[in-house]
């Protein structure tokens, strides 16, 4: 099963290919899509790694999730 980010990347790439003729704007749209998907994947990895680190440090699952999501929200709002 494909990840949600890969599904998003594929569906948006298909739309870009269908709606934007090859050239500068097509390349720009494709680059923007790639950068956005990479950022999302990095954020997912950060949340997972942070959660696991806090969960293994005896914070408990609920507290670890609370801390990881609060840190992620701060990253998004910056």
- pTM for this predicted structure: 0.81
3 pLDDT tier (thresholds 50, 70, 90): confident
The Cα 31–Cα 27 span in angstroms is 6
Mapped onto helix, strand or coil, the DSSP state of residue 22 is coil
How high is the pLDDT of residue 2? 60
Quick: pLDDT tens for 12-67.
Answer: 999 999 999 998 899 999 999 999 999 999 999 999 999 999 999 989 999 999 99
The Cα 6–Cα 48 span in angstroms is 18
């Amino acid at each position: 099963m494909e990840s949600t980010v890969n599904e998003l990347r594929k569906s948006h790439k298909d739309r870009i290919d269908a709606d934007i003729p090859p050239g500068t704007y097509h390349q720009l749209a494709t680059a923007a899509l790639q950068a956005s998907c990479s950022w999302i994947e990095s954020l997912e990895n950060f949340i997972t790694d942070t959660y696991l680190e806090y969960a293994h440090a005896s914070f408990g699952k609920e507290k670890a999730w609370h801390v990881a999501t609060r840190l992620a929200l701060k990253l998004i709002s910056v």
